[in-house]
Structure 1
Amino acid sequence: MPLHCVAPTLENCSPQMMAAPPNLSEPQDKACLAYPLGTNSHSFLQRTLYPIILKFEDIAYKVGGEKKGKSSTGEKTILNGATGMVCPGEILAMLGPSGSGKTTLLTALGGRLYGNLSGRISYNGQPFSGSIRRLTGFVSQDDVLYPHLTVKETLLFTALLRLPQRLSMEKKLQHVEHVITELGLTNCRNSMIGGPLFRGISGGEKKRVSIGQEMLINPSLLLLDEPTSGLDSTTALRILTTIKRLASRGRTVVTTIHQPSSRLYHMFDKVALLSEGCPIYYGPASNALEYFSSIGFSTSVTVNPADLMLDLANGIAPDSRHEIEQCTNMEQDQQSIREILLSAYDKNILTRIKIELCSSDANDYSHSKDVFRRTHTKAEQWCTSWWHQFKILLMRGLRQRRYDAFNKLRIFQVLTVAFLAGLLWWQTPTSHIADRITMLFFFAVFWGFYPLYNAVFTFPQERAMLIKERSSGMYRLSSYFLAKTAGDLPLELALPIAFTFILYWMGGLKAEPLTFILSLLIVLYSVLVSQSLGLAFGAILMDVKQATTLASVTTLVFLIAGGYYVQRIPPFIVWLKYLSYSYYCFKLLLGVQYSENDYYECSKGTYCRVVDFPAVSSVGLNHLWVDVSIMAIMLVGYRLIAYLALHRVQ
């Protein structure tokens, strides 16, 4: 039966809710609601003009399972019946053992959960939308940051992408400095974030940087997944004190936390306790012990409330059970305790929560369905223009990748191969046509495969960052993709240019400026095509191991079918060589070095036509512009495939 609504929503919320929430469905600058343009930088983090009341009711989420007729098999329930409400100024902490569904529920509240999600979630009575997304800060458990950027650079690039373009650069810098001061990052502001290969800032500082990235947009709703995970108690207290201060200024805060200390626990306003996806407590943190004592689960010793709650969520009763022991006269097994807790929750808590969720406006959910769906409209606006996003992403990419592209190992590797090959082919005479053709094929193979193996790492390594930033609505996928493509050009083309300069002249190839320039352009052209295929492999598979394996098989096939090793391919498989860009690169290099009228000394005093040499005749020297066009199609096609594949990343 439908519950009777007894009180308006605002009356159930904390006093910090000073003004009625805005109607986010009204036309306005939806992309930048979280940031009031006229706000002074010093009061930027001290006010929230758009407070959000978050409600969630009967949230359920299932994964797996195959449909067979009307039934399904193998389906697993991750969440089942989570219900609650959080108001501005409050912190809701979601507790529970590992695998209890805390992160899943938090992800659902952030509008980032896909799949079989049911229930109702509302933000000031509105469903999730692009407007809500830009009012929401989401801090994941893992700190997804670029290792080669400093703390200030990380926050500055985030500000440039997420704050309104109308805001001046000076104002954005002020906000970045204010966030750095607010989060206690002043001492490490110019230190690199760091990664697995080199040391950077500490774990607590990384967590504060992640929080700072979200605070730059002055979010109304702040969601944090395990913000104290892996930190010592002092650092955890410092971070939660910061979160408490941010909530006290009118923000709605929801956090998951695994096992907080008593000091941390008493900083929460509300607590939701989950056990195997089912809620067994929801209410004020200060009332939790009293509630569990009232249903027969109490302890005779002073205990951290979080420890007692986690024991109960695992089906472990405290040392004193009063009525429970009298009824059973024996130790309860875990399942029995869990059933008692679920029954008590349904009887004592669920009805109260649903009454609180009722508001005076009965139309809040009138257009909602049982299944909550993420809503995206084509009319969604962005805080910044496409061109602005492209410029900032390009600048950030160049700064981050300068250490990867020009590291000493890569430079040493390429230059060593170039000099060694130059010595092996030192000033090869024109009469030794087999050696000269082998050198040209080496050009085609090395710069057809080396960039491919580097490119397959690009998108898999940035998958977590792409998901995080795209989920926050920071930029369009097209601006990211083109910025990444353009940013790779100067970095990826510098080494092949140096390689060609060294080997071409050491090897004694045709010493004409035009021929050299054309040969260099062909090599660079092959690099771009090879890189495009690597990007496509990485974007499709999004797994470095699988992409590298596929690249190995592909390069082996292209190597064999490249026109040098196998010159008479059987007709039923001859199509393989037309898929190999190494074949076209090899043919173009031969085409600029030789013509159909060129001769070489095949034996003493005897001259033969170059086109009759087996390795040349197998590929030919005509229709070169057709080959250029085919490689252009490959270049565009592979990158288009990579772009379309990135749309699936979520």
Structure 2
Amino acid sequence: MMPPEQEMGITGKSPIVPGSSRLEDGMSEQVQATIARCSILRGSLRPVTLKFEDVAYTIKLPTTRGNCFGSTDSKPDRVVLSGVSGIVQPGELLAMLGPSGSGKTTLLTALAGRLPGKISGSITYNGQPFSGSIKRKTGFLTQDDVLYPHLTVLETLTYTALLRLPNKLTRAEKVEQAELVILELGLTRCRNSIVGGVLLRGLSGGERKRVSIGQEMLVNPSLLLLDEPTSGLDSTTAQRIVATLQGLARGGRTVVTTIHQPSSRLYWMFDKLVVLTDGHPIYSGTASRVMEYFGSIGYVPRMDLVNPADFLLDLANGVGPDMKQGDRYDNHGRSESDDQNSIKKLLISSYKKNLNDNLKAEIRGNYGDQNTSLPPTSYSKVSGSEQQWNTTWCEQLKVLFVRGLKERRHESYSGLRVFQALSVSILSGLLWWHSDPSHVQDQVGLLFFFSTFWGFFPMFNAIFAFPQERAMLIKERSSGMYRLSSYYFARTAGDLPMELVLPTIFVAITYWMGGLKPFPINFVLTLLTILYNVLVSQGLGLALGAVLMEVKQATTLASVLMLVFLLAGGYYIQHIPPFIAWIKYCSFSYYCYKLLIGIQYTDNDYYECGEFGRHHCKTLEFPGIKHLGPNNIGFDVAALGVMLVGYRFMAYVALRIRQH
């Protein structure tokens, strides 16, 4: 059985990295040729030295309103980070330690250039501020694995390669890049397995984490930032992940990771440490000297302590090696929290006194800027000249379209949705089985059912689109993978073949079973009207989901809107009071219903009326039809067209606003 390091594609002293000459023992010549070729395609790494000095970040807490005296209570701003400094060079693995809420993730996000708001202090990359070129050479991995569950490992990495790698590479070369990453990260055995998720069985937690790392490795990043990559993994899998990161660092990359509570084996893999408590640093420097430092200021670990990380986390929580936890008060009447706060303050002051000045001297010692103060950090949007997309708009549209079809076909053609559409179509066909044309009210009811059912169904399905993909959209857009417009058009275009099939089958079944006009032209026009209505309804659902980005709120608002549209649709109420009659002009169901009536009945259609059906009356004079005015077909088509474009434009604008 291979050791974990070899199983992961890392051979200890000489890991497999781009440009490495030593390969895994027993590797075939074909695999060696693939690695050599893809290594050339990737190009050489551009080492990045990351320096951050006196980084501070503060958030404003919301003001409390409405106390007993009618005044407002202003809360003090919360300090998330304060005076954090450090330096990590190519080939080094830096770990950020600290309890929950200490600011690790905030600091990591700031280093990745993705933290909103104003950041004081300085963060530089090879002595330069954050820029578009740095962004494209930086890999950022969030704590949660944001992956499409129905795609395989190979598909996931291939689509990422097609979007993130530059146009100078051919499609075949980009696929080779994905194959190389699969080989490097030890994912060969599961390359054709679906990723899976909470409700879908797929990869293990460690394999999903490696796939997420692989997505960032595709661009051959010089700087790799990871947020708790071992969270939720067992110790063996966690060791494999950290061994992978160590191997990537030894290949010339700068690797920074947050980690919550590493084992002793993981701890000794780190080159440098930053230890935080309540946003303040208590140590920043070489990992091998951390115990010596804390011993020098009077905090010596117990003799039975095996894991140094436990000792550091205790200190970050304000727990000294000689404190007895569990007692609320000590012999002097001080509470345990008072002792913890005093220890934290002492550690913070010791850091400022003993480490801060030397660390700043080391930071400013590079690039000859000892006598210059570093500029404050600000993350303005990358300018158009800096933002160079790796692929063209059309290529992004094509890749996103195909990827969306592969991922969402399982949901759109799920057995439950197909059963729902077929069962309702057959049931409604049986209820209106060969309805008599003289029973105008029954046929009008069927047409109104068409307009309402295919108004509710697609709208509520579309509401989930953007809220469910929000995490993926944020992740990929933050990496500069594609334009928002290409994503939006690919998303909406990809829904067409999936969202229009079920209504077509529905109408094909119910129309002929329901006894409506048995002419092909009437059937085709009815089908086109229903599909038109589906697109408008879907657009409203997309707009609600994009504006609110919260499923419960969106579905509640959609229920209210559809109830209003249903009541004002022209079937239940024929004489709406003038002061509220305008509501019907906002209802797409109203226009769809009018179009269906106009398609089904003309001036040449009559029905039996009067006592015992002795007379023939024009169908368009039927009370339930006459008040609609179904002859104005052009206006109805135009009104639905305005809604179709307006709703989808509203959805795009809402997504664009949320990106800023």
Q: Deviations over 1:453-512 (max 9, x none)?
A: 000000000000000000000000000000001100000000000000000000111111
1:626 Cα deviation from its structure 2 partner:
1.1
Partner of 1:182: 184
Partner of 2:384: 378
Check whether the contact 1:129–1:375 (CA below 8 A) recurs between aligned residues: no
Where 1:114 maps in the other structure, the secondary structure is coil
Check whether the contact 1:82–1:278 (CA below 8 A) recurs between aligned residues: yes
1:596 Cα deviation from its structure 2 partner:
3.7
Partner of 1:304: 307
For 1:405-554, what aligned pairs fall within 5 Å after superposition?
405-554=412-561
Structure-2 separation of matches of 1:367 and 1:592: 76
Aligned with residue 241 of structure 1, among 243, 265, 270: 243
More contact order relative to length (CA 8 Å, sep ≥ 6): 1
Check whether the contact 1:298–1:320 (CA below 8 A) recurs between aligned residues: no
Check whether the contact 1:64–1:75 (CA below 8 A) recurs between aligned residues: yes
478-487 or 58-67, which deviates more: 58-67
Q: Deviations over 1:138-173 (max 9, x none)?
A: 111100000000111101111111111221222222
Partner of 1:75: 77
Check whether the contact 2:118–2:378 (CA below 8 A) recurs between aligned residues: no
When the two structures are superposed, what TM-score results if normalisation uses the length of structure 1? 0.90
Q: Which amino acid aligns with 1:354?
A: K
Query: How many residue pairs align between the two structures?
Result: 605
Check whether the contact 2:38–2:173 (CA below 8 A) recurs between aligned residues: no
Structure-2 separation of matches of 1:225 and 1:44: 30
Partner of 2:207: 205
Partner of 2:321: 318
Q: Which amino acid aligns with 2:437?
A: T
Check whether the contact 1:66–1:75 (CA below 8 A) recurs between aligned residues: no
Check whether the contact 1:44–1:175 (CA below 8 A) recurs between aligned residues: no
Check whether the contact 2:276–2:316 (CA below 8 A) recurs between aligned residues: yes
Partner of 1:62: 58
CA spacing shift, 1:107–1:44, aligned 2, 3 Å:
farther
Partner of 2:30: none
Structure-2 separation of matches of 1:39 and 1:407: 40
Equivalent pairs: percent with the same residue? 59
Structure-2 separation of matches of 1:340 and 1:102: 20
CA spacing shift, 1:430–1:364, aligned 2, 3 Å:
farther
Check whether the contact 2:223–2:253 (CA below 8 A) recurs between aligned residues: yes
376-385 or 524-533, which deviates more: 376-385
For 1:95-114, what aligned pairs fall within 5 Å after superposition?
95-114=97-116
Q: Which amino acid aligns with 2:306?
A: V
CA spacing shift, 1:46–1:346, aligned 2, 3 Å:
farther
Q: Deviations over 1:288-321 (max 9, x none)?
A: 1110000000023133111011000000001389
Where 1:562 maps in the other structure, the secondary structure is coil
Aligned with residue 45 of structure 2, among 45, 49, 55: 49
Structure-1 separation of matches of 2:40 and 2:312: 37
Structure-2 separation of matches of 1:463 and 1:295: 47
For 1:595-614, what aligned pairs fall within 5 Å after superposition?
595-603=602-610, 604-614=613-623
Where 1:333 maps in the other structure, the secondary structure is helix
**2:627 maps to 1:625:** no
Where 2:81 maps in the other structure, the secondary structure is strand
Where 1:563 maps in the other structure, the secondary structure is coil
**2:587 maps to 1:580:** yes
1:630 Cα deviation from its structure 2 partner:
1.1
Q: Which amino acid aligns with 1:307?
A: D
Structure-1 separation of matches of 2:468 and 2:371: 41
Partner of 1:555: 562
1:41 Cα deviation from its structure 2 partner:
3.3
Partner of 2:252: 250
1:440 Cα deviation from its structure 2 partner:
0.2
Check whether the contact 1:125–1:365 (CA below 8 A) recurs between aligned residues: no
Structure-1 separation of matches of 2:529 and 2:228: 52
Q: Which amino acid aligns with 2:656?
A: H
Q: Which amino acid aligns with 2:58?
A: K
Check whether the contact 1:537–1:642 (CA below 8 A) recurs between aligned residues: yes
CA spacing shift, 1:595–1:394, aligned 2, 3 Å:
same
Check whether the contact 1:125–1:364 (CA below 8 A) recurs between aligned residues: no
CA spacing shift, 1:67–1:500, aligned 2, 3 Å:
closer
Where 1:600 maps in the other structure, the secondary structure is strand
Structure-1 separation of matches of 2:62 and 2:186: 50
Check whether the contact 2:118–2:379 (CA below 8 A) recurs between aligned residues: no
Partner of 1:7: none
Q: Deviations over 1:30-49 (max 9, x none)?
A: xxxxxxxx994353699743
Check whether the contact 1:564–1:615 (CA below 8 A) recurs between aligned residues: yes
Structure-2 separation of matches of 1:378 and 1:294: 52
Give the superposed CA RMSD.
2.3
616-625 or 240-249, which deviates more: 616-625
Where 1:620 maps in the other structure, the secondary structure is coil
Structure-1 separation of matches of 2:333 and 2:255: 43
Where 1:648 maps in the other structure, the secondary structure is helix
CA spacing shift, 1:46–1:312, aligned 2, 3 Å:
farther
CA spacing shift, 1:472–1:363, aligned 2, 3 Å:
same
CA spacing shift, 1:39–1:118, aligned 2, 3 Å:
farther
Q: Which amino acid aligns with 1:358?
A: R
When the two structures are superposed, what TM-score results if normalisation uses the length of structure 2? 0.88
Structure-2 separation of matches of 1:436 and 1:376: 59
141-150 or 122-131, which deviates more: 122-131
Task: Structure 1 unaligned segments of length 5 or more: list them.
Answer: 1-37, 322-327
CA spacing shift, 1:368–1:391, aligned 2, 3 Å:
farther
Partner of 2:24: none
Check whether the contact 2:361–2:370 (CA below 8 A) recurs between aligned residues: no
Partner of 1:336: 342
Structure-1 separation of matches of 2:479 and 2:114: 9
Where 1:515 maps in the other structure, the secondary structure is helix
Q: Which amino acid aligns with 2:233?
A: L
Check whether the contact 1:47–1:250 (CA below 8 A) recurs between aligned residues: no
CA spacing shift, 1:47–1:333, aligned 2, 3 Å:
farther
